[in-house]
């Protein structure tokens, strides 16, 4: 009987590998829409319009206009990533460990799942209708409080306007990413710290803080990469008034005035390098955090 049970438990040799069949759509999607386009961009970045090998496109990345576009994109990504990470972390902790009613957490998670995917033209229109020159909030502040935010220097079409717009999907994304880390904090750790006489500050300084810090930094890096590659919202909101690298890339490949396809490939390669490094750092930090949260 034991031999029969052992034989029955073994996989049938020569049968259909159903596990590979199930993962095939993902592999095809990754190859067709991720790996092959990336290889195409890498090759095109080192070619001229005639197909000859050249380093001119890589050298052109260091021209002042392109470096400025990269720098503005990095600043927008850093501002929205760090701000979204801080506010999202506090919101996640408040919903889980803040003693709020039980319906807060599922409501917040549902909203975060929807808002983190709300971007592009609809998001740009929503912020123009809210914080534009004739937006709802702009007119409300002017008519009720006599405060003209545009006279004070605010403009939705500038650096800070784009950063605030990005926060709409950055904060909910942080809530979704950081919630499992907060839930991984064990009650026994706080109880042990309290028994040993640690204050609340000492608990966060020496126990919870070091445990959560890799998850927080990794999530912030993921938000940075998410913002750095965004184009639809920025293009619909600011057009060409804000020189970020994704809009410059679009102008090089599809524009009527700027049209250097191979230089566009080189710009895209630079973006791949930056986002790739941030994602690698995120993976490394996530591995470190999982050691404590298992």
pLDDT single digits (tens) 154-183: 888 889 999 999 999 999 999 999 998 898
Give the pLDDT mean for 226-233: 88
For residue 8, pLDDT beyond 60: no
For residue 7, pLDDT beyond 60: no
Q: If pLDDT is split at 50, 70 and 90, which confidence band does 3 have? A: low
Residues 30 and 117 in one domain: no
Distance, CA of 266 to CA of 244 (rounded, Å): 15
Q: If pLDDT is split at 50, 70 and 90, which confidence band does 293 have? A: low
Q: Are 190 and 134 in contact (CB under 8 A)?
A: no
Q: If pLDDT is split at 50, 70 and 90, which confidence band does 10 have? A: low
Residue 4, domain member (yes or no): no
Residues 92 and 29 in one domain: no
Residues 154 and 218 in one domain: yes
Residue 278, domain member (yes or no): yes
Residues 245 and 131 in one domain: yes
Residue 6, domain member (yes or no): no
Residue 249, domain member (yes or no): yes
pLDDT at position 67, please? 93
Query: Looking at the 3D structure of the chain, how many domains does it have?
Result: 2
Helix (H, G, I), strand (E, B) or coil at 17: coil
User: What burial class does residue 4 get, using C-beta atoms within 10 Å of its C-beta: 0-12 exposed, 13-18 middle, 19+ buried?
Assistant: exposed
Residue 2, domain member (yes or no): no
For residue 61, pLDDT beyond 70: yes
Instruction: Point out the domain boundary residue: 9, 28, 54.
Output: 54
For residue 153, pLDDT beyond 90: no
- DSSP one-letter code for 253: H
pLDDT single digits (tens) 85-94: 999 999 999 9
Give the pLDDT mean for 204-215: 88
Residue 137, domain member (yes or no): yes
Residues 42 and 72 in one domain: no
Instruction: Point out the domain boundary residue: 31, 54, 77.
Output: 54
Q: What is the DSSP string of 69-111?
A: HHHHHHHHHHHHHHHHHHHHHHHHHHHHHS---TTHHHHHHHH
Residues 273 and 243 in one domain: yes
Q: If pLDDT is split at 50, 70 and 90, which confidence band does 16 have? A: low
Residue 8, domain member (yes or no): no
Give the pLDDT mean for 182-208: 87
Range of the domain at 41: 19-54
Residues 110 and 240 in one domain: yes
Q: If pLDDT is split at 50, 70 and 90, which confidence band does 285 have? A: confident
Residues 212 and 111 in one domain: yes
Q: Which two tokens stand for residue 151?
A: 């006279």
Give the ranges where the chain is alpha helix by DSSP (H): 2-9, 18-30, 36-45, 56-60, 64-97, 104-115, 121-131, 136-145, 159-183, 187-195, 200-203, 209-228, 232-238, 245-254, 261-293
Residues 134 and 111 in one domain: yes
Q: If pLDDT is split at 50, 70 and 90, which confidence band does 292 have? A: low
Residue 13, domain member (yes or no): no
Distance, CA of 277 to CA of 147 (rounded, Å): 43
Distance, CA of 205 to CA of 186 (rounded, Å): 16
Q: Are 88 and 172 in contact (CB under 8 A)?
A: yes
Residues 49 and 67 in one domain: no
CATH of the domain at 112: 1.10.3720.10
Give the pLDDT mean for 246-271: 82
pLDDT at position 64, please? 92
pLDDT at position 258, please? 61
Residues 79 and 144 in one domain: yes
The radius of gyration of the chain from alpha carbons, rounded to an integer in Å, stands at 25
Please, what is the average pLDDT of the chain?
86
Residue 27 Cα to chain centre, angstroms:
23
Residues 127 and 46 in one domain: no
0.75 exceeded by pTM: yes
């Amino acid at each position: 009987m034991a031999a029969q049970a052992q034989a029955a438990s073994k996989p049938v040799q020569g049968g259909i590998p159903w596990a590979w069949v199930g993962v095939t759509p993902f592999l095809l999607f990754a190859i067709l829409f991720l790996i092959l386009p990336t290889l195409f961009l890498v090759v095109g970045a080192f070619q001229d319009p005639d197909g000859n090998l050249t380093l001119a496109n890589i050298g052109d990345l260091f021209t002042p206009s392109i470096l400025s576009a990269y720098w503005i994109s990095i600043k927008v990504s850093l501002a929205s990533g760090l701000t979204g990470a801080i506010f999202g972390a506090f919101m996640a902790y408040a919903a889980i460990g803040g003693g709020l009613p039980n319906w807060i957490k599922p409501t917040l998670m549902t909203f975060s799942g929807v808002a983190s995917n709300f971007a592009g033209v609809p998001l740009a229109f929503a912020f123009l209708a809210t914080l534009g020159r004739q937006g709802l909030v702009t007119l409300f502040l002017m008519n009720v409080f006599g405060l003209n935010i545009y006279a004070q220097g605010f403009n939705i079409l500038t650096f800070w306007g784009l950063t605030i717009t990005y926060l709409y999907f950055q904060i909910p994304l942080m809530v979704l990413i950081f919630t499992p880390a907060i839930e991984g904090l064990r009650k026994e750790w706080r109880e042990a710290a309290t028994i040993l006489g640690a204050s609340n500050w000492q608990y966060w300084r020496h126990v919870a803080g070091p445990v959560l810090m890799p998850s927080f930094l990794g999530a912030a890096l993921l938000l940075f990469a998410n913002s750095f590659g965004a184009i639809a919202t920025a293009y619909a909101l600011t057009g060409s008034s804000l020189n970020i690298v994704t809009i410059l890339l679009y102008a090089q490949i599809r524009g009527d005035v700027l049209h250097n396809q191979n230089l566009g490939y080189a710009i895209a390669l630079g973006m791949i390098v930056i986002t790739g490094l941030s994602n690698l750092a995120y993976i490394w930090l996530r591995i470190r955090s999982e050691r404590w949260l298992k």
